[in-house]
Amino acid sequence: MRSRDGNYTFSLSICTIILFHSLALSAGEYLISYRYLVKNAAIYNETLEISHTMHKCKGTVSNTLFLESHNSKNLKKIIALNNEKFINYIQKIGLNVRHYERTINLQNTSTTILTLKTTCFKVDFNDNFAKISALK
């Protein structure tokens, strides 16, 4: 015969799992890569790739950036609204810069490529801001 106490602990454990799982939904880990291409002093291409990680990233939190989120959970929109802050942030954590210059028949052409290799970031969403931290 089953006791009622066994059912109570089972129900309590299910409720606890659901509660902690819902709290974990506001924080997550994302893989972000960025590429910015300028040809002859004109913006040619800008690419920002963001995806959820499939496995937990290993590393420690190194730098933190706070961006205004305006109650949004869409990381790409948040970064687009705060583009300059994000560019300055990724420059500090390791933005690769390549510059090429060529002169043919007295015409100068230049190409500059800024690249952030795919990096894991921990992102915590709040009502007013998103806390973005690079993992190293």
- pLDDT value at residue 27: 66
Residue 12 predicted with pLDDT over 60: no
Domain that holds residue 58: 27-135
Q: Is 19 within a domain?
A: no
d(CA 98, CA 88): 17
Whether 44 is in a domain gets the answer: yes
Would 8 be classed as within a structural domain? no
When divided into structural domains, the chain yields a total of: 1
- Checking if the pLDDT of 42 tops 60, the result is yes
Q: What is the mean pLDDT of the chain?
A: 82
* Domain membership flag for residue 109: yes
Least confident among 1-15, 34-48, 52-66, 75-89: 1-15
| 1 domain-assigned | no
pTM: 0.70
Would 93 be classed as within a structural domain?
yes
Cα 81 to Cα 5, 61, 87, 102, distances in angstroms: 53, 24, 12, 35
Helix, coil or strand: residue 136: coil
93 confidence band (pLDDT: 50, 70, 90): confident
